[in-house]
């Protein structure tokens, strides 16, 4: 229960617990699952930019609680990824909705899904397309998903156990392909099995530095359109065996914690995108040349110790998300303690609807099964204050295999600037 309480605090901070949430089993609600699904869609998915009515209706009607382990039922309708066993996760409802919308599902589409997981994404796609073919490399997960999909009645979903890197050649070509795990590069068999003019939604990149792309097959080649930075579990099997760049969990580090790196090329067009970070909400990279049109801007140059840029979070709606996240490889057997540090400046910051809804720098640790091991933070910060450095020593749980770093307003209103966000291994 201790870890669950910590986890709920983090969820409130990141704006993914719904205020006034009715949990399944609440006797005061005739249909509590429908109530929380509707609230989830209205407050965390539609408000975050998903507009396709067919996709929103599918999320409203798909029973996510049927696709999570019993231990995760209390969090089934939180907008967060959840562990489902075998070191795999079910993606957050927003990511599922966003990827589904990006796929532009049509009633005549034949869709290939790589990474069945729990079967939730396939279930969401089922009423939107003609047929879904879904592949899972983990035998136990694939068989459980097949049982769940059959029991709930999804006759147009076919599943198989296998390496998604190889695709499903005897069912090809596919109108659409959706990949719910991340390879370093696009597997060639998937390119071959996508019809000319077809589209693929796929996260590609390093283990903790990925970009979600929409790729359209034109003249036998894929034309890439970046959608957003993201973090997915790796595509295992042949894709992971051939990965060239691998993280070093014995020497964890924050990428672009000083925000000096700016977006380049097509990534400049991505809203809320700052290199090294993902799932940005209401955030912008601000350079020191910004017009001095407020107290915050006028203090930028002298107070920031010569840095060229910083991350600015702004929010006017209490409870609305405004944050950045970053995944970090860290091995608790190799790293026993870290120093978490950062600089923050605030202007007119007021607490959000939850007591934890204030600016902070927070790090959460997870074990090899992606179970939550606890969260530690510096802050919270409130009111108006000039640039100030903060740090703390954090003991790393020995079971740790990865971490998520979070910065932002977390539902508070006002403006918060962050810079020099770092973790340092303490020997």
By annotation, the residues acting in catalysis are 91
32's enclosing H/E stretch is: helix 32-40
Of the candidates 312, 357, 362, 280, the residue with the CA atom closest to the CA atom of residue 17: 357
Crossing angle of helices 93-103 and 53-61, in 10° steps, is 140
The CA distance from 195 to 97, in Å, is: 24
Are 423 and 405 a contacting pair, CB within 8 Å? yes
The CA distance from 124 to 1, in Å, is: 31
Strand partners, 159: 134
Most distant CA pair in the chain, distance: 64
How big is the CA angle at 175 (ends 228 and 122), to the nearest 5 degrees? 65
98's enclosing H/E stretch is: helix 93-103
For every residue of 151-176, DSSP letters joined together read: HHT-TTEEEEES-GGG--GGG--EEE
Buried b (16+ CB within 10 A) or exposed e, 366-397: bbeebebbbbbbbbbbbeeeebeeeeeebebe
The CA distance from 107 to 110, in Å, is: 9
Strand partners, 82: 90
All residues at 6 or more sequence positions from 57 whose CB lies less than 8 Å from its CB, including other chains: none
Are 113 and 162 a contacting pair, CB within 8 Å? no
Are 391 and 420 a contacting pair, CB within 8 Å? no
The CA distance from 117 to 138, in Å, is: 8
Are 406 and 362 a contacting pair, CB within 8 Å? yes
Strand partners, 378: 361
């Amino acid at each position: 229960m201790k870890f669950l309480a910590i986890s709920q605090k983090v969820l409130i901070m990141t704006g993914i617990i719904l205020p006034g949430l009715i949990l399944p089993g609440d006797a005061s609600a005739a249909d509590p699952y429908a109530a929380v699904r509707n609230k989830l869609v209205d407050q965390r998915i539609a408000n975050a930019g998903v507009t396709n009515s067919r996709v929103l209706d599918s999320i409203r009607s798909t029973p996510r609680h049927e696709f999570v382990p019993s231990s995760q039922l209390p969090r089934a309708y939180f907008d967060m990824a959840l562990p489902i066993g075998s070191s795999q996760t079910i993606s957050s409802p927003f990511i599922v909705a966003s990827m589904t919308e990006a796929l532009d599902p049509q009633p005549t589409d034949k869709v290939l899904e790589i990474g069945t997981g729990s079967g939730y994404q396939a279930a969401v796609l089922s009423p939107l397309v003609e047929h879904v073919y879904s592949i899972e490399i983990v035998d136990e997960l694939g068989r459980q998903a097949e049982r769940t999909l059959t029991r709930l009645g999804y006759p147009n979903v076919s599943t198989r156990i296998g390496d998604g890197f190889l695709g499903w050649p005897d069912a090809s070509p596919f109108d659409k392909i959706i990949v719910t795990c991340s390879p370093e590069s696009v597997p060639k068999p998937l390119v071959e099995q996508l019809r000319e003019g077809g589209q693929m939604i796929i996260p590609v990149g390093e283990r903790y530095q990925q970009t979600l792309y929409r790729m359209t097959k034109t003249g036998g080649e894929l034309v890439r359109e970046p959608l957003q930075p993201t973090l997915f579990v790796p595509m295992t099997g042949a894709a992971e065996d051939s990965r060239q760049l691998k993280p070093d969990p014995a020497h964890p580090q924050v990428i672009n914690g000083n925000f000096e790196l700016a977006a380049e090329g097509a990534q400049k067009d991505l809203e809320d995108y700052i290199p090294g970070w993902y799932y940005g909400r209401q955030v912008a990279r601000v350079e020191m040349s910004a017009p001095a049109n407020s107290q915050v801007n006028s203090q930028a140059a002298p107070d920031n110790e010569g840095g060229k840029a910083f991350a600015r979070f702004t929010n006017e709606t209490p409870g609305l998300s405004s944050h950045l996240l970053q995944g970090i490889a860290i091995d608790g057997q190799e790293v026993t303690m870290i120093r978490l540090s950062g600089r923050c400046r605030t202007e007119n910051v007021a607490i959000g609807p939850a007591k934890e809804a204030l600016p902070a720098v927070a790090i959460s640790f997870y074990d090899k099964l992606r179970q939550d091991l606890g969260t530690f933070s510096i802050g919270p910060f409130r009111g108006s204050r000039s640039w100030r450095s903060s740090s703390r020593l954090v003991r790393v749980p020995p079971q740790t295999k990865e971490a998520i770093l979070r910065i932002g307003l977390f539902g508070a209103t006002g403006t918060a600037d962050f810079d020099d966000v770092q973790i340092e291994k303490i020997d």
